Amino acid sequence: MAVPEGVKYAIIGAGIHGLSTAYHLALELKAKGKGSGEDILVLDKTAIAAGASGIACGVVRNNYFQPAMRELMAHSVGVWESDAKAYSYHPVGYMQISPESMHGDVGTIYEQQKAIGYESEFIEGEADCMTYMKGLFDDWQAKNITSVLHEKRGGYANNTASIYGLATKAEAEGVRIMTGIEVTGFETGSNSGAVTALQTNKGTINCDYVVVGVGPWVNQIWNYLELPKAVSIKGSDGEMHDGVPMWKYWCLEEGTLGVDPNMHKMNDGAFPPVIHVDSDAPLYSDVDGSLITDQMWGIYYKPDFNFGGIQGGAAPYKVDQEPDKVAVDPYGPDSPDFIVDDNFIHMWCSALAHCQKRFEGKIQTYKKHDPSGGLGCFTPDSFPVFDVFRENVYVVADSNHGYKMLGVGKLVAQEIAGASSELLEPFRFSRYEEGKLHPVSNSPFPWS
Ligand SMILES: Cc1cc2nc3c(=O)[nH]c(=O)nc-3n(C[C@H](O)[C@H](O)[C@H](O)COP(=O)(O)OP(=O)(O)OC[C@H]3O[C@@H](n4cnc5c(N)ncnc54)[C@H](O)[C@@H]3O)c2cc1C
C-alpha cells in the first residue's frame, strides 16, 4: 500500500502509547473543532501490538514510591476502568507484599494513596500479615513479610486484546493505522530544527507534527532525531554528573506455569489480586533444597487464561552492552538472546513455592516451549521522559513502565491540543540538568 504524501499528525508505533495518543487526539481534535481522526496516521514497522505492549504481563498497579508516578498511575487506572471491556481489563486489584527493609517506603505509599483517594489497605507486622494472607489463601507460607499493601483498584489486562481494542476505538474515530511501514529517518526545515517529513521504507510522508511511541526502539529513533546520546545530571549532592548515557537496556524475565488458572483462586472462590512479593528470606530450590539466593529477590504472578496458566515474572537483569549494539530485533519471544533461561525458571518456580504451598512441585509444568521475556529501554533515572523535541516531535519514552500507563496518551493528546498537563510536568527531559529527580525506593526492581 502506498504511503500518503502528507498528514497532519504522524504517530510512530502501534503500541499502547501510539494508539492511546491517536485515539485521544482524535477525540480532542473533534471536541475542539480542530479536526478529526482523519488527520492522524499511525505507522508501525511490523504490526499492531508487535512490541512490548503485545508481550507485557499486563499488570496495572498504583504502587510506586514516587508521588508523580503514583498520580499518573491513578489517572491511568481511571482510563482502564472507563472501558474495561474494550481494554480487556480485569480489575482484580494488586498486592505489594514486602520485608522489613521496604516497610517504611510502602507505608509512605499507603499514606499518599489515602491522600489522593486511591483505595488501599495496609497491614503491618509479621503476625498480622500472615493472618491477612492466610485469610485470602489458606496455603500462604512466605517468610519475613512485615507489610502488605492491598490496592483495591488496578489488576491486569490481556496484552494483545487490549491493544487491538484501542486500535478499534482509534479507527472508529477515523484514525488510519498502516503496518509494515518503517520510519528510517526525518527531514527537517531549513530555518528550524522542526521535522517536516518522515522518511520511510515506502516513501516520504510530509507531516506537521510527530509523536514517537516506539517502546524499546526509542534509542534508534532518538539517534535519527540527532538527540544527545549522553546527558548531564545534577545529583542530590548539587554536583553535575556529565556523560551519563541516555539509554540503557534491561531484559525482563517472565514466564508461565502451564497449570489450570483456576488452581489459583482465593479461599472464597474468587480470582485473586495480582500478587507481588519482595523478600529478604533465603530462597531455596523447590527441586533439591539448595540455596538459590540469600539476597533480596522479588516475583509477581497472577492466574491468566490468556497465557494459559499462572503467569508472572521476577526482577529484570541489566544488558551489559552499549545501546547502539543491543539487538532489539527480532523482538520478544523471537529473540535468540533476550528470552528467559533455566535459571529464571528455577528461581521463579521456587519463589512461587516459597509463597504458596499449591505451587510446590509444579516446576515441571512450566511452559518451557513458549519463549518469553523481552527488552525494555530505560532512561538515566529509569523514569519516563514525556517531552517535545525539535519543536514538533513529542517523544513518549516510558522507560518500560508503560503498559499500565494507558492514560498517558490522553494527557499527551491534550498537550498537543494546547493544554499543558501537570501530571506530565515531572517527566520533562530538563529534570536531569535541573536536578529535579524522582525519589528512589528500596525495591529490588528498577521500576518501583
Ligand atoms: C516482558 C515484558 C513485560 C512487561 N510487563 C509489563 C506490565 O505488566 N505492566 C506494565 O505496565 N508494563 C509492562 N512492561 C512494559 C511495557 O510493556 C512497555 O513499557 C510498553 O508496552 C511500551 O509501549 P510503547 O507503546 O511505548 O511501545 P511498544 O508496545 O513496544 O510499541 C512500539 C511499536 O513501535 C514500532 N516501531 C519501532 N520502531 C519503529 C520504526 N522505526 N518505524 C515504525 N514503527 C516502529 C514497533 O514495531 C512496535 O509495534 C513489560 C515489558 C516487557 C518487555
CATH of the domain at 146: 3.30.9.10
Of 378, 406, 437, the one marking the end of a domain is: 378
Order the strands of the 59-60 sheet from edge to edge: 59-60, 155-157, 89-90
Of 336, 351, 378, the one marking the end of a domain is: 378
How many Cβ atoms sit within 10 Å of the Cβ of residue 123?
20
Q: What sign for the dihedral angle of Cα 428, 60, 376, 351?
A: positive
Q: Are residues 334 and 373 in the same domain?
A: yes
List the residue whose alpha carbon is closest to atom 15 of ligand 1.
400
What's the pLDDT score for residue 402?
Answer: 87
Instruction: 417-420: list long-range contacts, CB under 8 Å, 24+ apart.
Output: 417/25, 417/28, 417/29, 417/32, 417/34, 418/32
C-alpha to C-alpha distance for 152 and 129, rounded to whole angstroms: 17
What's the pLDDT score for residue 238?
Answer: 87
Mutating to test ligand 1, I would choose from 403, 412, 448 the residue with most ligand atoms within 8 A of its C-beta, which is 403
Nearest to 247 by CA among 224, 220, 212: 220
Q: Are residues 33 and 77 in the same domain?
A: yes
CATH code of the domain containing 199: 3.50.50.60
Cβ-proximal residues to 68 (8 Å cutoff; 6+ apart), any chain? 423, 426, 427, 438
Cβ-proximal residues to 201 (8 Å cutoff; 6+ apart), any chain? 45, 181, 182, 184
Mutating to test ligand 1, I would choose from 3, 46, 53, 340 the residue with most ligand atoms within 8 A of its C-beta, which is 53
* H or E element, residue 101: helix 100-115
Q: Are residues 334 and 422 in the same domain?
A: no
Nearest to 264 by CA among 249, 276, 274: 274
- Label the pairing between strands 274-279 and 94-98: parallel
Q: Are residues 374 and 399 in the same domain?
A: no
Mutating to test ligand 1, I would choose from 207, 214, 220 the residue with most ligand atoms within 8 A of its C-beta, which is 214
Q: Are residues 84 and 218 in the same domain?
A: yes
Cβ-proximal residues to 345 (8 Å cutoff; 6+ apart), any chain? 255, 363, 366, 368
List the residue whose alpha carbon is closest to atom 10 of ligand 1.
403
Q: Are residues 325 and 440 in the same domain?
A: no
- C-beta separation of 225 from 187 below 8 A: no
Cβ-proximal residues to 57 (8 Å cutoff; 6+ apart), any chain? 156, 159, 254, 300, 302, 311, 312, 313, 403
Full residue range of the structural domain in which residue 234 is found: 1-91+154-241+381-448
Span from the CA of 135 to the centroid of ligand 1 (angstroms)? 37
Nearest to 432 by CA among 234, 228, 219, 218: 234
C-alpha to C-alpha distance for 215 and 403, rounded to whole angstroms: 10
Q: Are residues 179 and 297 in the same domain?
A: no
C-alpha to C-alpha distance for 207 and 7, rounded to whole angstroms: 5
Q: Are residues 320 and 370 in the same domain?
A: yes
- Label the pairing between strands 40-44 and 6-12: parallel
List the residue whose alpha carbon is closest to atom 32 of ligand 1.
214
Ramachandran area for residue 132 (φ above 0: left; ψ -120 to 50: alpha; else beta): alpha
Question: Which residue stretches of the chain have pLDDT < 70?
Answer: 442-444, 446-448
Q: Are residues 183 and 295 in the same domain?
A: no
Span from the CA of 54 to the centroid of ligand 1 (angstroms)? 7
Nearest to 137 by CA among 248, 303, 338, 304: 303
List the residue whose alpha carbon is closest to atom 26 of ligand 1.
215
What's the pLDDT score for residue 189?
Answer: 85
* Segment 41-57, tens digit of pLDDT: 999 999 999 999 999 99
Count the helices and strands in the chain (H runs, E runs): 9, 23
Q: Are residues 310 and 428 in the same domain?
A: no
Identify any residues that bridge with 205 across adjacent strands, giving them in sequence order. 198
What's the pLDDT score for residue 448?
Answer: 64
C-alpha to C-alpha distance for 146 and 125, rounded to whole angstroms: 5
Residues with CB under 6 A from ligand 1: 12-18, 43-46, 50-53, 55-59, 182-183, 213-217, 252, 254, 373-374, 376, 398, 400-404
- C-beta separation of 321 from 332 below 8 A: no
- C-beta separation of 181 from 202 below 8 A: yes
Q: Are residues 203 and 320 in the same domain?
A: no
What's the pLDDT score for residue 5?
Answer: 96
Span from the CA of 215 to the centroid of ligand 1 (angstroms)? 4
C-alpha to C-alpha distance for 208 and 41, rounded to whole angstroms: 12
Q: Are residues 314 and 443 in the same domain?
A: no
C-alpha to C-alpha distance for 130 and 139, rounded to whole angstroms: 11
